[in-house]
Amino acid sequence: MLKVLCTIFLSFPVGILCQAWHNKACLENHLGYVERLAQETIYKLEKDVKFCNLKVDDFNQTINNQMYSWHVSGSVQYTDNFLISIQNVHFDKVSSMVTRRLANEVPEYQAGVLFTLVFNHAKIGFNALVKLDNQPEQRYTVDYLYDSISFPISITRLLNTNETTYTSSRAGSVARLEMMNFLPSTNVSQVVRRNFESSSISSSFTKWASQTILPIMQELEDIITFPKIRLDGCK
């Protein structure tokens, strides 16, 4: 069992956006808000949910490879896939904005905080059942290391009602390794491990954000309060 570490690194903010309403409308210490929210969310994720409960959907691959003079065809079923470990979590691309719009001629103010939560060195585990033509089935345990998996998150609040909305967009991933790591390593797994496309499972990562991370943030709403609006440019 790999040790799961969760350290939050404070990353640089990328600009503060203040629009309309008042040129100097801004959110007070939105960076501190993101830092606390990210930290508490990861803490609750580890304690109440556990990282290993972040699952990746089952998927199948069709194999049709030529390796030297050896032709390999068949299929692979990947099941019970989940996050095994992450080295650390950080956040970046933090920005905030305050906007105004007219709803039935009544001004409505909305404030938003945007940031990206990043899991660094995230390892996913898989069970693989390899069924090659004219061969007995073979079972393998597999892992794959992502350099990072990132979750773009946006939190907006309507100021007259305090209604707060948590949304996430498509998760991104970065992976340098081209191949999965199969155990045991056999001549068959040497061929099969080349068929993985690292972006192919990212819809599961997107679900981690919408189904697990955002609900935790929402639960924390009363504890970690949305930043106050200020009109002095927050200098």
Ligand X SMILES: *[C@@H]1O[C@H](CO)[C@@H](O)[C@H](O)[C@H]1NC(C)=O
Sign of CA dihedral 171, 177, 182, 183: negative
**What DSSP character marks residue 133?**
T
**Given candidates 60, 65, 199, 211, which one binds ligand X under the rule CB under 6 A?**
60
CA dihedral 39, 43, 49, 54 (to 10 degrees): 50
Q: What's the length of the chain?
A: 235
What minimum distance in Å lies between the beta carbon of 53 and ligand X? 19
Residue with tokens 């972006």: 199
Residue 137 touching ligand X (CB under 6 A): no
Q: How far is the CB of 120 from ligand X (least distance, A)?
A: 29
Among 23, 70, 141, 199, binds ligand X (CB under 6 A): 70
- Reference 70, options 136, 11, 133, 164; nearest CA is 133
- With CB under 6 A as the contact rule, which of the stretches 37-45, 55-63, 132-140, 209-217 interacts with ligand X? 55-63
* Strand 106-132 relative to strand 88-103, pairing: antiparallel
- Span near ligand X by CB under 6 A; candidates 8-16, 56-64, 148-156, 176-184: 56-64
Residue 128's SS3 state is strand
Given 61, 77, 99, 169, the residue binding ligand X (CB under 6 A): 77
Angle at 146 between CA 207 and CA 8, to 5 degrees: 75
Query: Closer CB to ligand X, residue 118 or residue 180?
Result: 180
Tokens 């690194």 label which residue? 9
Q: Which two tokens stand for residue 144?
A: 């794959």
Using rule CB under 6 A, residue 59 touches ligand X: yes
Question: Residue 33 Cβ, how far from ligand X at the closest point, in Å?
Answer: 13
3-state secondary structure (DSSP) of residue 81:
strand
Q: Does 187 bind ligand X (CB under 6 A)?
A: yes
The CB-of-196 to ligand X minimum distance in angstroms stands at: 15
199 part of the interface to ligand X, by CB under 6 A: no
Rounded to whole angstroms, the Cα distance separating 195 from 177 reads: 12
Nearer to ligand X, 19 or 190 (CB): 190
How many residues bind ligand X (CB under 6 A)? The answer is 8
Which residues, 6 or more positions from 81, have their beta carbon under 8 angstroms from its beta carbon?
A: 55, 56, 57, 58, 59, 124, 125, 126, 127, 201, 204
> In the set 19, 64, 66, 162, which binds ligand X (CB under 6 A)?
162
The distance of closest approach from Cβ of residue 161 to ligand X in the complex, given in angstroms and rounded to an integer, is 6
Chain residues that interact with ligand X, rule: CB under 6 A = 58-60, 70, 77, 161-162, 187
